[in-house]
Structure 1
Amino acid sequence: MAQNNLARNLTQEEPEQPYVSTPRRVSQPGRQPGFSPRLRLNAFEKVLIIGGSILLTGLMLMVVSSKIALSNSQHELQHLDTRISNIHNDNTNLKQQIGELQSSSRLQKIAKENGMSLSNGNIRNVTK
């Protein structure tokens, strides 16, 4: 039983922690505590910041203007595609009308109405 009490005594003891002192802040006259001094910018840094700002503004304007130009070009392309499609449809319709007007049955009908006849002896084929 003596050994059981010994184990309890060892676990209940707390290890000693070393004493560490906290550093003290030394206040300087004319400064408030917690105040950090600001760094001054030299002339080169000011010129660099201003130049970078101007460059960034110019690039932003260039991106916006190029987006507008792209949008206008896409609109114009879409308009031209629509016109091409309409003209292609018109051409197809006109070719169909030409085919109907050139049909031999139609030409013979018109010739009969006007008192004409088709004579195969009078037909000549001309090629280039």
Structure 2
Amino acid sequence: MAQNNLARNLTQEEPESYVSTPERVKPTPGVLPKQHLKLSAFEKTLIVCGSAILTVLMLVVVSSKIALSNSQHQLQHLDTRITAIHNNNTNLQQQIGELQSSSRLQKIAKENGMTLSNGNIRNVTK
């Protein structure tokens, strides 16, 4: 508790000793106050053009990202269609194999009264 009182005493004494009065602070005649530099017309034009170019580049990046996303979506859609068509082709080839099987053809021939004659069979190659 004694330390808290000490801190209060120090802070109360400091403002009185460091109070600056207008008589103490006098501007020196050789030192000028800080002045802000003014921008020339070229610098203003350069800043405006740089900002415009930066804005255009940001828009180009965003639009290219959107175009890339759309292209990826189309590619994924085409890949899905290719897979579906490939599966359909595989199923159709399997059906062709089943329909061309010799046992099935002999069964259909017997049902219709036909017989197999080896002399009438011809092999055709492409």
Length-normalised TM-score, structure 2: 0.73
Specify the alignment match of 2:19 in structure 1.
none
**Cα displacement (A) at 1:27:** 5.3
- SS of the residue aligned with 1:41? coil
Map 1:97-108 → 2, pairs under 5 A: 97-108=95-106
Structure 1 stretches of 5 or more lacking a match?
1-23
Residue ranges of structure 2 left out of the alignment (5+ in a row)? 1-24
Alignment partner, residue 16 of structure 2: none
Q: How well do the aligned residues superpose, as a CA RMSD in angstroms?
A: 1.9
Hey, what does 1:55 align to over in structure 2?
Answer: 53
Compared CA separation, residues 25 and 97, structure 1 to 2 (3 A): farther
CA shift digits 1:12-51 (9 cap, x unpaired):
xxxxxxxxxxxx86257xx9xxx63211000110110000
Equivalent residue, structure 2, for 1:46: 44
Bigger Rg, which one? 1
**Alignment pair present for 1:26 and 2:11:** no
Is residue 82 from structure 1 mapped to residue 80 from structure 2 by the alignment? yes
Q: State the match for 1:36 in structure 2.
A: 34
Runs of 4+ in structure 1 over 4 Å off: none
Higher share of residues assigned helix: 2
- Aligned pairs, how many? 100
Residues 107-128 of structure 1 show CA distances to partners (whole Å, capped at 9, x for unaligned) of 0000111111110011112334
* Structure 1 residues 76 and 25: alpha-carbon distance in aligned structure 2, compared to 1, 3 A threshold: farther
